[in-house]
Chains A and B, each alone.
Chain A
Amino acid sequence: MVDVQYVTLVETVLQYFFVVLFAPLFAGILASFKSKVESKKGPSIFQPYYDLFKLLRKETLLPEGSGLLFKYIPYVAFGVYSLISIIIPVLIPQPIYFTASADFLGGAILFSTAAFMKMAAAMNSNSNFSALGTSRAISFNFLSEGTLITVFFAVSLITATNNPYVTNHFLVANPLQNVSLDHIFATLAFLMLFLYETGKLPLESSGLQELGMIEEGLNYEYSGKLLAINKWGSYIKQYLLGSVLLNVFLLPWGLFSTYPLFFLDVPVMILKWLLLIFIVIAIETTLAKLRLFRILDYLATAFTFSILFLIFSEVIV
């Protein structure tokens, strides 16, 4: 009989290192598959790792007039994402160490904190481009944060608790709940939010084109090690949001929490992510390009869905 505490410790370590080390891989797979769909040769699926290693070796340049926030916040943001990765069910469906430190809403607030800190750091860089990225990010985020929090509120209404683990177990135990109206609306709203937050809207919001950049605008003045840390943080954020979408909304099944079996969660998560990547590529490559100011309309639609879902989950028993 293996000690329970020992198992929990192994689970915690496994989850943390899986999230931190594998997050760039999923970004690489997505970029590679997307290029193949567009009939290009495309980069290797390990390209994000090559980029990170290259940037970690390079010299870090600080712009003139930049402050302390600019210099240190990438580390803090990375730390926040690391913390989130051990408090929500992104690999092991059973509470692990640190899970008790925050609930669903706590996770949402941590995401918002990291986003806020990144904007504060970008403003501290003393650069016009970063200021442009910040003002864009803020003018869109007020709707996306609202959606995120409303979706989480509404999820907690279904199960009468604010714990994502309970939601996951509830959905696994009641399969019919997965096709209930309120759950479908929440999934849709969260999927729309995931596409926006990870820069997967057909707008090149993750590229370096001046007309469409939002996220990259915040990273504009970073270089070397700081840029690597920031990029790594973004990969982790993408993995976390995608895994919440998979484990709490879209596909709650298939994860194990008993001793030897929980190692199987790693291939299961990779398979689930391949499905999500397929969905994202289908959306990204088939939709016409949006104009930048249309993002607000898109986010308002997501917000509408989440509010409707909130009403529905209250009135439909």
Chain B
Amino acid sequence: MSSIAGTLAYPISSFILISAFYMQGQEFIRPMIRGQLIQSLLIAAVSFIVGFSENNIDFIILGIFIVFLRGALVTYFLEKGVPSKKVYFYEKKVDVAYLLLVDLIFIVIAVFLIYSIVFSSISIKSLIGNNGILVFPLTLFFQGLFLIASRRTTFAQIIGYVEEENALVLFALFLLPIPIIIEASVFMDVLALVVISSIVVIEKSTHERVEELIG
């Protein structure tokens, strides 16, 4: 059972990464939000798989929470922020090739450093697959960080934040005992995502470089 879970977890995790790169290269906001939806659903799928393989209902509860909070609520609030008469709403001057290349350099260096320095000195054992599977949440985390840093639209920045959240959940799914993840995840979702995202998106849709300094 566990080996089947491991076999399934790898392709799903790689699709999660592909969705992250898709969002990084996407200029249009609405497809980006949908990309976030798909990413969250895939993470819920990983949670269900771990739940069935470990025979633990807590993971399944976590999966249901992810579907409901991140899949439904966050997507709903973000989509509500898109101007209804401008469904093609997009961020100007997104240089995909440049962003992807810088992103790759950043991720490869960051993941390599963490992997070779931190992981080699502590003893960890992932629940499914081998320890190599932890490279997926790590990559996703740095990808989310780069998405926030590289974009000016509030939507993109909030989606980057969701991506980081997703990375933490995915990381925890592979490693930790369950109750703490559920608590942390639900708390972060409700407070940070739903409340903050709905306020920030309505308040201000883009941030220029200089404005960020003014506050």
Q: Mark B9-27, 1 if CB is under 8 A from A, else 0.
A: 0110010010001000100
- Whether A301 contacts B100 by the Cβ 8 Å rule is yes
Residues of B within 8 A of A165 (CB): none
- Whether B25 contacts A311 by the Cβ 8 Å rule is no
Q: Which residue of B lies closest to A308 (CB)?
A: B17
User: Taking the complex as formed, is A316 at the interface, i.e. its CB lies under 8 A from any CB of chain B?
Assistant: yes
Partner of B104, one of A185, A299, A303, A312: A303
If A317-B130, A317-B132 touch, whether A301 touches B14 (CB-CB below 8 Å) is no
Q: How far is the CA of A301 from the CA of B22 in the complex (A)?
A: 9
> Whole-angstrom distance from the CB of B60 to the nearest CB of chain A?
26
User: Taking the complex as formed, is A315 at the interface, i.e. its CB lies under 8 A from any CB of chain B?
Assistant: yes
What range describes how many residues of A lie at the interface?
A: 10 to 19
Residues of A within 8 A of B96 (CB): 296-297, 300-301
Q: Which residue of A lies closest to B100 (CB)?
A: A300
Q: How far is the CA of A181 from the CA of B9 in the complex (A)?
A: 11
- Whether B11 contacts A304 by the Cβ 8 Å rule is no
Chain A interface SS verdict (over half): helix
- Whether A311 contacts B100 by the Cβ 8 Å rule is no
> Whole-angstrom distance from the CB of B12 to the nearest CB of chain A?
11
Q: Which residue of B lies closest to A298 (CB)?
A: B97
User: Taking the complex as formed, is B122 at the interface, i.e. its CB lies under 8 A from any CB of chain A?
Assistant: no
User: Taking the complex as formed, is A131 at the interface, i.e. its CB lies under 8 A from any CB of chain B?
Assistant: no
- Whether A300 contacts B17 by the Cβ 8 Å rule is no
- Whether B17 contacts A303 by the Cβ 8 Å rule is no
Q: Which residue of B lies closest to A179 (CB)?
A: B11
- Whether B14 contacts A303 by the Cβ 8 Å rule is no
Q: Which residue of B lies closest to A306 (CB)?
A: B104
Q: How far is the CA of A311 from the CA of B129 in the complex (A)?
A: 16
Residues of A within 8 A of B97 (CB): 143, 296-297, 299-300
Q: How far is the CA of A303 from the CA of B102 in the complex (A)?
A: 12
Task: Kindly name the residue among A143, A312, A317 whose own CB sees the greatest number of chain B CB atoms within 10 A.
Answer: A312
> Whole-angstrom distance from the CB of B137 to the nearest CB of chain A?
12
Task: Kindly name the residue among B104, B115, B139 whose own CB sees the greatest number of chain A CB atoms within 10 A.
Answer: B104
- Whether B108 contacts A307 by the Cβ 8 Å rule is yes
7 more contacts with CB within 8 A, not counting A300-B96, A304-B21, are: A181-B10, A296-B96, A300-B97, A301-B21, A311-B139, A316-B10, A317-B132
Q: List 12 A-B contacts (CB under 8 A).
A: A181-B10, A296-B97, A300-B100, A300-B101, A301-B21, A301-B25, A301-B96, A303-B101, A304-B104, A307-B104, A311-B108, A311-B111
Using CB atoms and an 8 Å cutoff, list the residues of chain B in contact with chain A: 10-11, 14, 17, 21, 25, 96-97, 100-101, 103-104, 108, 111, 115, 129-130, 132-133, 135, 139
